[in-house]
Structure 1
């Protein structure tokens, strides 16, 4: 597929989302959405993220329904290993009381990990399949069919995940401290004097807002750079297979690490929001 484009066109094609929007002509896709303004749906990001979320729910439900107290099967043992790992992380990092945190942490870790693992799929495989479906099924030019299969390379998704964590931080802060306590936290720290209220508010607001943005940008930046390197490797011709293999092996450590960091920072941020002093 790389031979059909120049290198810059090839990279641009692989880093472009499949888009859907509405216009005067009804529902339109991809290039027709370039002047659509703000409200554009990245249907590949939505499709893969929702599909992987459903896979996670189905798999863990299947294991839970078939779990035995005797010698577990390989899949049950693997799921129990993940569950114990996340449960231990929550117990060591979250110092409040909430029945939501452990399931939330498990969901974040497994869901983000599954989305990250899509980075190991050969970069030409899914776009080529999508192009063939568009060409033979809908009469489209394959060059106008886009497919980004790694949802976490889309800043919209990582920001959405981080905003969910941010709203939970606000919720727990108000629930534990009350509106008054949350307001005092924003206005009387770190300088406990009324004259420093404006300074405190600016500093604490920046700190509060920086947490979700750092979550979103860290995950997006690492996965986007990783996918870009895979795409660049695909342009080198005959040497791409060993280079792809070496980079993929390295990512067997990096991809779970990014999911773990996102999960741990979520736990820490919610633990800080739940402190009642």
Structure 2
């Protein structure tokens, strides 16, 4: 009996941790638990990432078109406060001159926050609808709990870091920074290259894994609460965890934005 209960718990948790996947090598949908192929797309993560980005753009467009001077509505006031918050942080941390950094920081903060807040949606709500209405076998709705999504955002920022390093210092200056820092002696060039390349590559890795780890653990706790408690008693643990998790969600989005600004500010510094 105990083994059956443990097995049911494992199946429940495993089901909620499996993505809706499509295999590009065979152009077929994958069954739950099948991960033997390499070219796999997590369709649910991609779908919710794009959906949240579109909603973000639509809400921003509506607010911009209906903006009033003097007596703004509540939504316009919230958007303006959010813009001022991001803009003030960018001014404090970014020391270069770029028209991209502030809008990019705003996009990163809001998009990551929107992806994170999906973790507050009840665990079984959307997967139940997807399974019974659309016939979808598995569905995960928190894009930032997928390391592929967090890595793709971090790699995009990494490309910008390389780009602005080269724009500021040129290719020769960029290579010189890698080879002549932190030790200026020519004999130390191999050591400098190893240290600087590791430092450079660690930036997208740390950004992606920090966000993924925090959101994955938060998602897992919600799943465990749903698996171990009856539906009428889940609120006892899920409510306080949700309140605390709001802080985690906001903080992780803010940290991701801050790291983006700091890394791009360093990239703008002349060597």
Q: TM-score normalised to the size of structure 2?
A: 0.94
**Structure 1 runs (4+) greater than 4 angstroms displaced:** none
1:115 alignment counterpart: 115
Q: What secondary structure, in the 3-state scheme, does the structure 1 residue paired with 2:52 have?
A: helix
Matched, 1:241 2:260: no
The 5 Å alignment of 1:62-101 reads: 62-101=62-101
Deviation string, structure 1 residues 150-178 (Cα, Å, up to 9, x no partner):
00010000000000010000000000011
* Preserved CA contact (<8 Å) 1:20 1:33: no
Deviation string, structure 1 residues 205-258 (Cα, Å, up to 9, x no partner):
000000110000000000000000000011222431121111000011110110
For 2:193 and 2:216, the matched residues in 1 are separated by 34
Q: What secondary structure, in the 3-state scheme, does the structure 2 residue paired with 1:71 have?
A: coil
Q: Which runs of 5+ in 1 are unaligned?
A: 136-141
1:60 alignment counterpart: 60
Deviation string, structure 1 residues 109-133 (Cα, Å, up to 9, x no partner):
0000000000000000011011102
Q: What secondary structure, in the 3-state scheme, does the structure 1 residue paired with 2:139 have?
A: coil
Q: What secondary structure, in the 3-state scheme, does the structure 1 residue paired with 2:95 have?
A: coil
Matched, 1:211 2:207: no
2:19 alignment counterpart: 17
Matched, 1:261 2:255: yes
Deviation string, structure 1 residues 37-96 (Cα, Å, up to 9, x no partner):
221111100100000000000101111111111111000000001100000011000001
The Cα shift of 1:181 comes to: 0.8
Say if 1:8 and 1:32 are closer, same or farther in 2 by CA, change over 3 A.
closer
1:179 alignment counterpart: 171
1:138 alignment counterpart: none
Deviation string, structure 1 residues 183-204 (Cα, Å, up to 9, x no partner):
1110001100100000000000
For 2:24 and 2:169, the matched residues in 1 are separated by 44
* Preserved CA contact (<8 Å) 1:21 1:36: no
The Cα shift of 1:36 comes to: 5.7
For 2:32 and 2:112, the matched residues in 1 are separated by 31
1:199 alignment counterpart: 191
* Preserved CA contact (<8 Å) 1:19 1:33: no
The Cα shift of 1:34 comes to: 3.0
2:213 alignment counterpart: 221
Q: Which runs of 5+ in 2 are unaligned?
A: none
Query: For 2:8, which of 1, 6, 13 is the aligned residue?
Result: 6
State the superposition RMSD in angstroms.
1.5
Q: What count of residue pairs does the alignment treat as equivalent?
A: 264
